[in-house]
């Protein structure tokens, strides 16, 4: 169990690092003398300590001074985070407006400006800023994906999904964002939509079978009340009925049935696959034996009066 939790934490850490990735090469900072650079490093440590201790006013003041000296995006970002914590949204808006004018290709700050508008209840301004970003979105997968991460980092999942959907249109099959879309829906507990995009990924890229299966397995691992498993069962049955010639969906259903020890479905689906591929003999024989042993074990657990007679 500890190993599973460690793996889960690593996955989340990797995702957070991804979401912190910068959309484009950030603006270069100012040239700093060696002595001044040393002072900036000392101030950084102190500002970071203030921030960790939730003394956001002191952290804000110090990060602001550091940014004036260094011109580094990271220092500006920490300064803005302090303003968010202090709920000084008007100041954050002014600072972000000024920053994006000087750095129009740094989309992360555009996303933060949209976030500020949302916090202030300025929905029209937020939508206008969003539309301006998306209108000029390039057909470049890393930019699209990282812009989506920026929205996710502010819990603006609807905008993150819309960016990815536009990315699917822009790239026109050269690359898709189905796995990214599935993950967002999964993290929002919208499992039916997550399944939809996992299945789209599998249908479009059959080579992603193991990746899709592993993600579904992770979902099922944390399914304490079996609600996800039940939804997945219905989704897989529907998918195999609607697309009976798709081998990947059939194999996924076999895998799911084995996880649930549902040997009837696993055997029936393996036989269906074998009629197309003629390579499931070993699997069928194994399942037939497993099914028989499971049935025998069930009979042995019945009270004597309930056992079938010959």
Report the distance separating Cα 139 and Cα 166, nearest Å.
9
**What architecture is the 177-305 domain classified under in CATH?**
Alpha Horseshoe (1.25)
State the pLDDT at residue 19.
47
At 283 the pLDDT is 60
- Contact of 299 with 308, CB cutoff 8 Å: yes
What is d(CA 227, CA 205) in angstroms, rounded to the nearest whole number?
Answer: 27
Q: Which of 202, 272, 273 minimizes the C-alpha distance to 239?
A: 202
Confidence at residue 37, expressed as pLDDT on a 0 to 100 scale: 86
Residues lower than pLDDT 50 in the chain:
1-10, 12-13, 15-26, 292, 294-310
CA 168 to chain centre: 16
Q: What pLDDT is attached to residue 202?
A: 95
pLDDT tens for residues 93-116?
999 999 999 988 888 999 999 999
- Are 149 and 187 a contacting pair, CB within 8 Å? no
* pLDDT digit string, tens, across residues 220-244: 888 888 889 999 999 999 999 999 8
Secondary structure string (H, E, C) spanning the chain: CHHHHHHHHHHHHHHHHHHCCCCCCCCCCCCCCHHHHHHHHHHHHHHHHHHHCCCHHHHHHHHHHHHHHHCCHHHHHHHHHHHHHCCCHHHHHHHHHHHHHHCCCCHHHHHHHHHHHHHCCCHHHHHHHHHHHHHCCCCCHHHHHHHHHHHHHCCCHHHHHHHHHHHHHHHCCCCCCHHHHHHHHHHCCCHHHHHHHHHHHHHHCHHHHHHHHHHHHHHHHCCCCCHHHHHHHHHHHHHHHHCCCCHHHHHHHHHHHHHCCCHHHHHHHHHHHHHHHCCCHHHHHHHHHHHHHHHHHHHHHCCHHHCCCC
**What is the reported pLDDT for 16?**
44
The CA–CA distances, whole Å, from 165 to 144, 173, 254 equal: 10, 12, 31
Query: Would you say 19 and 154 are in contact if contact means Cβ atoms under 8 Å apart?
Result: no
pLDDT of residue 105: 82
Tokens of 275: 């009629």
Q: Where are the domains of the chain?
A: 177-305
């Amino acid at each position: 169990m500890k190993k599973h939790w460690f793996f889960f934490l690593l996955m989340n850490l990797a995702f957070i690092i991804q979401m912190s990735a910068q959309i484009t090469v950030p603006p270069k900072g100012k040239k700093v003398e060696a002595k001044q650079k040393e002072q900036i490093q000392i101030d950084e440590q102190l500002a970071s300590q203030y921030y960790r201790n939730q003394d956001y006013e002191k952290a804000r003041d110090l990060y602001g001074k550091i940014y004036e000296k260094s011109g580094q995006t990271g220092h500006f970002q920490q300064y803005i985070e302090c303003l968010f914590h202090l709920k000084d949204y008007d100041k954050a808006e002014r600072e972000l407006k000024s920053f994006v004018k000087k750095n129009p290709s740094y989309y992360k700050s555009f996303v933060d400006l949209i976030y500020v508008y949302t916090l202030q209840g300025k929905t029209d301004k937020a939508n206008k800023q969003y539309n301006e970003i998306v209108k000029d979105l390039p057909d470049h997968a890393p930019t699209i994906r990282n812009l989506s991460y920026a929205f996710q980092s502010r819990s603006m999942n609807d905008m993150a999904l819309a960016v990815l959907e536009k990315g699917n249109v822009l790239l026109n099959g050269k690359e898709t964002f189905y796995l990214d879309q599935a993950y967002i829906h999964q993290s929002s507990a919208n499992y039916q939509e997550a399944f939809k995009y996992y299945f789209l990924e599998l249908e479009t890229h059959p080579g992603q079978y193991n990746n899709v299966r592993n993600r579904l397995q992770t979902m099922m691992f944390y399914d304490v009340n079996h609600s996800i498993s039940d939804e997945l069962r219905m989704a897989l049955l529907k998918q195999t009925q609607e697309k009976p010639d798709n081998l990947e969906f059939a194999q996924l259903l076999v895998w799911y049935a084995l996880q649930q020890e549902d040997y009837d479905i696993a055997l029936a689906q393996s036989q269906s696959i074998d009629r197309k591929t003629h390579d499931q003999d070993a699997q069928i024989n194994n399942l037939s034996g497993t099914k028989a042993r499971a049935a025998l074990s069930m009979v042995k657990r019945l009270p004597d009066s309930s056992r079938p007679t010959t």
